[in-house]
Chain A
Amino acid sequence: MSVEPEVPIVQVEEVRENPVLYKIISSDNHVFTISEHAVKLSKTLWDLITNLGLTAENALDNPIPVENVNGKNMETIVQFCERHKYDEEEPEYTNYIREFVLPEWDRQLLSIDNEELFQLILATNYLDIQKLMDYCCRVIGDMAKDKTPEELRIIYGIPTDAEDDALERSASDSPGPSG
């Protein structure tokens, strides 16, 4: 009869899962919990965590306020970061070809109205999340496919030449800061 050696059973997922969690408070006071691997996708947040000296012991007691991002966008961002936290690191962008296909999960996540998408891309830019920025830009870039210049003017809110001239004239006619 053989005796099984006494080795603790550890689930692979438990080994991969980092127990360190951080709390983030959005501009409208919603609180979000995010894992260490996920929060690292945001250069801004990770720099903040490093500079504040947050550790596994004190992370949850010190929520990080993010005043430029509302709860709705933060929810999307946390979902995105948790989904992509174990992705392979992207090579630095160069002038050489870096192709990617927008995964269906992410396309669904970003199927939001244009106002929300506009706010999300500003939040992504502020939090410096490269992959989410790429994906948001692809979604916005794809809106131009097979569209005429007139249709693009509407989609992207671009004024006509006449409107542009009028805006320029009114800007030059308006009194300067000294009145």
Chain B
Amino acid sequence: MTIPIRRLPYPVLREIFKQMDPESLINFIRTNNSSIKLLPAMSASVSVNYHNKDPFILVTTASGIQSELPFGYYRKVMKVFKWIELDCLKIVVSDKFKRKSCLRLLSLLKHCKFTSCNCLMIQSVEEGVVLRKEAIMDITKQLKTINEMFIDVSMEELPENLDPALAVTVTNGDLLADTEIMLLEAEEILVESSRIGDTGANLIIKNWIAHGESLRYLELKLADEWKLFDDDNLGMEHLLFDLDFQVRGEGRFETKHLGSVLNFEDGFDIQRDDGKKATITSNQQVVRLLIISNP
């Protein structure tokens, strides 16, 4: 006995699709030529995984239902991209990561109904995997827009030519020099671990004063003392060295960055020649640069 779902009201049919796993949806599309027209665009996340012997992609729908597809199933993967609105693209790398095969797979993104991606995550399954910036740049080229990027893998250089409206989080910046953070064009930057000391942070602030365009918020966790090898200082006098600053006297203030509301009690205000203002705050190894106004 069949259950003739095409005779159900469309809102019900749409709910059934939401409860199907991605591989079933692919097989549903393949039942006949008109089936694809029934499938609504659905938000889903795609994770490209290299940590097994055979790489695979994991597609998770908005209802949290997953399907695992081997890389070789190009035709199936292509069909996935035809109906999803890509919410999050996660690339999980290991020492088995192969840039070319990843790019071949991601080139299928051009079949996506919507090639924008809310969030791009680059993760590593093991320590010691260092990714070259070109790999990330190649990946970002496959996507029209990205709102947020999380780099959770060691890198010596950060990718260039990113969307300046991007929010970038670097969870492991221990191999990055201060110049890499200076060169990163993004609206919001969070570096959760680094080898940079107060002198390096001072140079980053000076770079913003001289050239900063899109930056609205920078949060930088300075190095633990034992990690300092670029920069041998940790102290406010080095952070503010040679800066024309004023102690902020307006008491507690609140700001919203990287999706969180942040509260501050004090800081140091600086102003550029073009009138742009910023506040620098520092506590427990975390330096924040908040750009508070545009002229």
Given contacts A114-B2, A156-B2, A156-B5, contact A97 B12 (CB under 8 A): no
* Contact of B3 (CB < 8 Å), options: A133, A145, A149, A156: A156
A99-B65 Cα distance, complex, nearest whole Å: 8
CB–CB A138/B64 < 8 A = no
CB–CB B27/A144 < 8 A = yes
* Contact of A149 (CB < 8 Å), options: B17, B30, B62: B30
CB–CB A140/B21 < 8 A = no
CB–CB B27/A141 < 8 A = no
For the residues of A in contact with B, the DSSP-based class is helix
A140-B24 Cα distance, complex, nearest whole Å: 11
Q: How many cross-chain pairs have Cβ atoms below 8 Å apart between A and B? A: 103
B62 surroundings in chain A (CB, below 8 A): 95-98
A115 surroundings in chain B (CB, below 8 A): 1, 3
CB–CB B16/A118 < 8 A = no
CB distance from B43 to the nearest CB of A (A): 5
A156 surroundings in chain B (CB, below 8 A): 2-6, 28, 31
Given contacts A147-B27, A149-B27, contact A118 B4 (CB under 8 A): yes
Is A137 in contact with chain B by the CB < 8 A criterion?
Answer: yes
Is A143 in contact with chain B by the CB < 8 A criterion?
Answer: yes
Is A154 in contact with chain B by the CB < 8 A criterion?
Answer: yes
Residues of B15-49 whose CB lies within 8 A of A: 15-21, 24, 27-28, 30-35, 43
Q: Which of A113, A154, A155 has the most CB of B within 10 A?
A: A155
Which of the segments A8-16, A39-47, A158-166 contacts the partner chain?
Answer: A158-166
Chain B, residue nearest A135 (CB): B19
Question: CB within 8 Å of A: which residues of B?
Answer: 1-9, 11-12, 15-21, 24, 27-28, 30-35, 43, 60, 62-64, 87
Question: CB within 8 Å of B: which residues of A?
Answer: 95-99, 113-115, 117-118, 121-122, 125, 133-134, 137-138, 140-145, 147-149, 152-161, 164
